[in-house]
Structure 1
Amino acid sequence: MGIPCFYSYIVKNHGSIIKTLKNVPCDNLYIDGNSIIYDSYNDLEPSENFEDELIQQIIMRLNALINKVHPRSRCYIAFDGVAPLAKMKQQRVRRFKSEYERDIRSGLGLSNPTKWNTNAITPGTLFMKKLSDNLKDYYIESSHIVVSSSEQPGEGEHKIFALVRNNIDYHLKTITCIYGLDADLIMLSLNHSQNCDHIVLYRETPQFIKQIDSSLDPAKDYVLDIKHLGKAIGDDFGDVDRISDYVFMCFILGNDFIPHTPSINIRTNGINVLMAVYNDIIVRQKRYLIRDGTIHWGNFKLFIEGLKQDELSRIKEEYSKRRNYKLNKTSLDDKVLFLPLLDKREEQMINPYESFWQDRYYNHLNDIDRNNDNVLKTLCINYLEGLEWTMCYYTHGCNNWYWKYNYLYAPLLSDLYRFIPSFNITLVSNNIKLPVSPYTQLAYVLPRSSHHLIPEKIRTYLDTNYRHYYDSGVIKWAFFKYFWESVVQFDQLNIEQFNIEINNKII
């Protein structure tokens, strides 16, 4: 889910939740450390000692942030450690696309400055080890500042909310400021509002703020007040207990783990579509999608039944807009950015105005036969698993480090509806296995051009045994607007066996 679109929607519909930082006293400051790394990277110019300068800039930014927010009690800085497989899949796609885009830009003769390989910002690299050691040494005598480095597994933002869940009584009595601003963080904060009385999100984004709301002063620091956002959403539904439903149904708009359904896009009024159907069916009948932490699949089936009614008309409308879309005075940079609008051959072959377009949708985009009911069921159940897995991840933490969505595009709602259970059932079983090693994550997510960041023994093994895996990426962008939204199909890989093989090379 794109944060500019989501944030814009929130500000437009709930403007009162934006407050100035100086007017919000703070007990706890929790920092998504990786956002600090990238901010610091953007601060610097190329140099011979770039990594050392970057580490010093990170420490300087952390200190400046702590001094500005001035938490009265404690500060927790969480960096991304090894991630669940569902997130690793997204990381691999993102890194592959970055390399693909660099190649395109180079072919077009566009400047492509590279001052440092940002793929080094991955758990297991020498840089992340060096950063971890420096931060430990620097903050060793600060009793109120705790650092969770990349050596501890888990995404930074999820480490933060694990801390909240493990100290509920404390957080119900204090005000917590979380540094970071993306759609996932907003959803996580909303989903933990019952565990933390008052959460605000903060990020220095002057240009972004100005683009979203011209009435705001970009020179000031703003926070997003989650408590007031939750109340505003509750007012929309007439019931504050529906926050979990709101978070859950927004997964249909897509996130890091599952794609959005093709007929509902946050950029084209997607949230309003969800809200209208939800109010008309679920609220009117006094039902809930989530109750006491349990997904009520029968109620969700009713919800999807309502959403699927206008699925074809919404897809046709979007297809027509894209077919007639013209880019004026297209620069070379825009040609890269808007590749999906310039090359629409695949979606033109699918063409929802012609018969059997659903068959072509699955065949072209997910490489499956829609008329094979078992195959279609497997895809739809995998998507439902994704909804359940994500809700569990957002509520309790990761219950299965090895689950992932195995396809590129979401199922059509008309097909998904057929396979939603009418009774409560758990689709993703808890898996007590530990996450993969940092070296396995490196080997899984890094493109071949960044394999110098991997230990030599592993690098040699990968080059001998897995060359095909790194050459297998195929990009698809049908029904997307921007290149960065595109998806990538890779050869399948057994992650558990891969983890064993990689770890054996380290011993």
Structure 2
Amino acid sequence: MGVPAFFRWLSRKYSSIIVHCVEERSKECNGVRIPVDTSKPNPNEVEFDNLYLDMNGIIHPCTHPEDKPAPKNEDEMMVAIFEYIDRLFNIVRPRRVLYMAIDGVAPRAKMNQQRSRRFRASKEGAELTEEKQRMREEIIQRGGYLPPEEIKERFDSNCITPGTEFMDNLAHCLRYYVADRLSNDPGWRNITVFLSDASVPGEGEHKIMDFIRRQRAQPNHDPNTHHCLCGADADLIMLGLATHEPNFTIIREEFKPNKPRPCALCGQMGHEIKDCQGTAREKQGEHDQFADTMPVAEQEFIFIRLCVLREYLERELTMASLPFPFDFERSVDDWVFMCFFVGNDFLPHLPSLEIREGAIDRLVGIYKDVVHKTGGYLTQNGFVNLERVEMIMHAVGVAEDNIFKKRKEDDVSFYHEHQAPAYLTTGQFAPQALGGRDRPQPVHNARHQAFDMRMQRPSDSSDSRGVKRKAEDSDSEPEPEDNVRLWEEGWKQRYYKTKFDVDVTDEDFKRKVVKSYVEGLCWVLRYYYQGCASWKWYFPFHYAPFASDFKDIVGMFSEFEKGTKPFKPLEQLMGVFPAASGNFLPTTWRNLMTSPDSSIIDFYPDDFAIDLNGKKYAWQGVALLPFVDERRLRAALDDVYPDLTSEEVKRNSLGSDVLFVARSHPLCDFIQELYRGTEFPAELCHGIQGTLNLDDDPILPDKIPSKVLKPSDWERSGQGPWRPQLGFNPNRQQAHLNQSAFRALGERLNGCKKN
């Protein structure tokens, strides 16, 4: 959703929705660390019932952090994830439910974005390695100093995708983590824990929303339930509003721009890899053993209070003199829907609508006029009234020409005010290759700079060295040529010719693009309010049409194809991975990505262009990758499916959520008597209802493949194998841990005691 732009806009327009979290810290007494007692009242003076974790927002920063040294191995990654969850649990302290959702196989509409991200990550990683090697050789040749290069395998973050061994190991480790906390942490003992790992289809946040919707539909649902959702994506705000729950809060890390980062070569602060001179750091003192390590400041958290945002929206959306009673909840749904036009994970934003230019406020103004004229709302329960949407698009389309001209005027004005370089770029850019750098470099776009400078707090306007930023920064890079020139006559013709390679007079093609976009709007709204309407639908173009192209759209959409099913995990890997990440796939599957004789070799280009499309950074641009043809992909996989091992077949299967409760939980005794398919009574689980099945793979120490807790680290008691205190497990034997191995993994895991 144009993430930083949307969140910055929202938090500055409605500033009271943000509250800093109060976090109680553990204390040390006589050299012994005393953990925080999370069973005590919440220091934030609010008691949360349910905590939902969008786990991918935790996994990524814990496995490859940007602001501190990366973990040395997978063990340290797992421990970092556990510590992060502990910290969130300490802040929120849920009393009923903890729901941990890892992204599973995504709908095809999302897979296109995942494909783009993973191809970019692979390309940037390879280019960074080449750049570091080239710079290292240059610096050493001219007599510079660089610390010895660490010999370690580069962590490929693409492994954080369903179907990989890493995700399978993580699922097992989280099971043991939950079992340990339920057994030993007093704050956990009365809560119900759900783990929806990567084998369960669906994006993490949407699995959470599906859980909330299902519980809201139950007769025992408590309407005063206080929900807290952890995640940094802007769409979580939309999803929280879409639940219509009165008590909904989002917790996320506080966004602090311009955080200093060390040089990727010498590890020192104050410059980037391209400016590294290979100067040895001066030792500050006898005990300067940490001189070459970067400073680590613990990230703070903030609450986004959606109850306050709802109050703001009610004041803004309330309309007088309506020919029908005003319904605030319906207007919130319409506001969420209109935000789709400025960008989301499934559709490109319309060229004339930019968050930075006040697009959402413009849409709200148009929306109020439309509601008065039509006498009704845009949406209802996840369905779209296309006739009313067309009226909004018509109003935006009428203003499109003026919007583009005003955008140009703002750029020119900024140029004169800040004495920008001799060149300026505006609007839609032609494709260019992604440059090899240690981080994305800004493309000089005056319109975005003006917005960023206006929106920054005073302390944000300097870089890490305290030097005021200049308009001339990063001006050594050549600007991509703007072939569209949206502010000049003939912009629509140039846009369609440059972006789609068709003539603007080709009405059939334009109608095809608009029809796909209309389907997308219907699909996204259904996805937010009802769940995935079609696992196979996707928007088959890289660019959006203009608002003025939305004509006669009422009959463009009827219904999505019924009965579609998600990809299996390994199939999704084939759809989103570049060939460079093929090591996560079986050998014969990997060969389909690289062999010249492969029938789908065109799905895996070695190089591709990036169209900045009006953005500042390459990662914000459009990756011009070919779309995957599902039928061709499945046909190619039919030949290699027999090559899967039993372990790979297991990783390629779809799973379901796992329920955990402590022995003291009211539901535990009932679960001991469970038979497959039996529904559990809601009164034993805070009103939660559903159907339970016994787990086919109980958590046994000698089965876990994780490196964090190995079978050799555990001893057996005389009464038989140990099993954690889970609801489906009546045994309650004591665990014995090899303490020397345990201490190497960190004190936070020291929950199981020796004899």
Asked if Structure 1 and Structure 2 have the same fold, meaning a TM-score greater than 0.5 normalized by the shorter chain, the answer is yes
Letter in 2 for 1:86: A
What is residue 150 of structure 1 aligned with on the other side? Answer: 198
Alpha-carbon RMSD across the aligned residues, in angstroms, is 3.1
| Pair 1:59 & 2:82 matched | yes
TM-score of the superposed pair, with normalisation by structure 1: 0.88
Aligned to 1:215: none
The count of corresponding residues between Structure 1 and Structure 2 is 493
The change in CA–CA distance for 1:191 and 1:343 in structure 2 (over 3 A counts) is farther
* Counterpart in the other structure of 2:46: 24
Q: Is the 8 A contact 2:115 2:577 kept in 1?
A: yes
Cα distance in 2 between the residues matched to 1:459 and 1:96: 15
Identity %: 30
Please point out which of 389, 404, 423 is paired with 1:300. 389
Q: Unaligned stretches of 5+ in structure 2?
A: 22-43, 137-148, 183-190, 260-297, 319-325, 424-435, 446-476, 643-755
Deviation at 1:205, TM superposition (A): 2.0
Aligned to 1:234: 314
AA aligned to 1:270 is A
- Look up the match of 1:4: 4
Change (3 A) 1:158 1:480: same
Distance verdict in 2 for CA 1:343–1:446, change over 3 Å: farther
- Contact map agreement 2:239 2:528 (CA 8 A) in 1: yes
Paired position in structure 1 for 2:281: none
Go from structure 1 to structure 2 and tell me whether the alpha carbon gap of 1:219 and 1:95 turns closer, same or farther (over 3 Å shift): closer
Partner of 2:625: 490
What's the CA shift for 1:146?
1.4
Structure-2 residue corresponding to 1:45: 69
Partner of 2:292 in structure 1? none
* 1:452 has 2:583 as partner: yes
Q: Residues 367-424 of structure 1: CA distance to partner in whole angstroms, max 9, x if unpaired?
A: 33321211111101001111111000001111111111111111011112x2421x6x
Partner residue in 1 for 2:728: none
CA distance in 2, matches of 1:344, 1:251: 30
Q: What secondary structure, in the 3-state scheme, does the structure 2 residue paired with 1:177 have?
A: strand
| CA apart distance, 1:40 | 1.2
Distance 1:311 1:206, change over 3 A: closer
Aligned amino acid, residue 201 of structure 1: I
Q: How many angstroms apart in 2 are the aligned matches of 1:190 and 1:449?
A: 40
Contact 2:442/2:617, CA 8 A, preserved across alignment: yes
- The structure in which a higher percent of residues are helix is 1
For 1:407-486, list aligned pairs within 5 A. Answer: 407-416=541-550, 418-421=551-554, 426-464=557-595, 465=598, 466-471=600-605, 473-486=608-621
Q: Does 1:137 align with 2:176?
A: yes
Matches within 5 A, 1:93-492: 93-102=116-125, 106-107=130-131, 115-140=154-179, 142=182, 144-168=192-216, 169=218, 170=221, 172-193=223-244, 196-205=245-254, 207=256, 221-238=301-318, 239=326, 240=328, 241-283=330-372, 286-319=375-408, 321=410, 336-339=440-443, 341=445, 345-346=480-481, 348-416=482-550, 418-421=551-554, 426-464=557-595, 465=598, 466-471=600-605, 473-492=608-627
The separation in 1 between residues aligned to 2:437 and 2:363, in whole angstroms, is: 34
Match of 2:427 in 1: none
Residues 1:266 and 1:125: Cα distance change in structure 2 (over 3 Å):
same
Does the 8 Å contact 1:262/1:315 carry over to 2?
no
1:14 aligns with 2:37: no
Structure 2 Cα separation of the partners of residues 129 and 155 of structure 1: 16
CA shift at 1:496, angstroms?
3.9
Contact 2:111–2:576 (8 Å) recurs in 1: yes
* Shift in alpha-carbon separation, 1:104–1:431, aligned structure 2, 3 A: same
Contact 1:340–1:480 under 8 Å retained in 2: no
CA apart distance, 1:209: 12
> What is the distance in 1 between the residues matched to 2:251 and 2:422?
37
Q: Which whole-Å CA distance do the structure 2 matches of 1:356 and 1:300 have between them?
A: 26
Residues 335, 38 of structure 1: alpha-carbon distance in 2 compared, 3 angstrom cutoff: closer
Name the CA distance, whole Å, in 2 between partners of 1:201 and 1:400.
Answer: 28
Residue 73 of structure 1 deviates from its aligned partner by: 0.7
Larger deviation, residues 285-294 vs 121-130: 285-294
Q: Is the 8 A contact 1:46 1:116 kept in 2?
A: no
Name the SS for the 2:540 alignment partner. Answer: coil
For 2:336 and 2:196, locate their aligned partners in 1 and report how far apart those are by CA, in whole Å.
27
Residue type of the partner of 1:311? Answer: E
Shift of 1:139: 2.1
Counterpart position of 1:213 = none
Partners of 2:114 and 2:135 lie apart in 1 by 25
Name the aligned partner's letter for residue 60 of structure 2: Y
User: Partners of 2:480 and 2:107 in 1: how far apart?
Assistant: 34
Write the deviation string for residues 23-44 of structure 1: whole angstroms up to 9, x where unpaired.
Answer: 3320000100111112212176
What is the match of residue 69 of structure 1? 92
For 1:198-228, what per-residue CA distance to the aligned partner results, in whole angstroms no more than 9, with x for missing partners? 1100013263699xxxxxxx98642111122
Residues 489 and 357 (structure 1 numbering): CA distance in 2 closer, same or farther, change over 3 Å? same
Task: Choose 172-181 or 349-358, whichever is displaced more.
Answer: 349-358
Query: What residue is the counterpart of 1:84 in the other structure?
Result: 107
- Rounded to whole Å, the distance in 1 between the matches of 2:163 and 2:439 is 35
User: What one-letter code is carried by the residue in structure 2 that aligns with 1:175?
Assistant: H
Amino acid of the structure 2 residue aligned with 1:67:
N
8 Å CA contact 2:53, 2:99 repeated in 1: yes
Change (3 A) 1:496 1:157: farther
The 3-state SS of whatever aligns with 1:403 is coil
TM-score (norm 2): 0.61
Amino acid at match of 2:237: I
User: 1: CA distance between counterparts of 2:198 and 2:252?
Assistant: 21
> Is the 8 Å Cα contact of residues 436 and 499 (structure 1) preserved in structure 2?
no
Partners of 2:370 and 2:388 within 8 A in 1: no
How far 1:3 sits from its partner (Å)?
A: 2.6
Q: Deviations over 1:239-297 (max 9, x none)?
A: 52300110111100011110111111112222122122222333565431113433111
Query: Max radius of gyration: which structure?
Result: 2
CA contact (8 A) 2:374 2:388 kept: no
Counterpart position of 2:647:
none
Structure 1: distance between partners of 2:71 and 2:379? 52
CA distance in 2, matches of 1:496, 1:81: 22
Q: Which residue of 2 aligns with 1:214?
A: none
What CA distance in whole angstroms lies between the structure 2 residues aligned with 1:272 and 1:225? 21
Contact 2:371 2:377 in 1 (8 A): yes
TM-superposed CA distance for 1:492, in Å, is 3.4
CA distance in 2, matches of 1:338, 1:503: 44
Q: Is the 8 A contact 2:5 2:356 kept in 1?
A: yes
Q: Partner letter of residue 453 of structure 1?
A: F
Q: CA deviation at 1:46?
A: 4.5
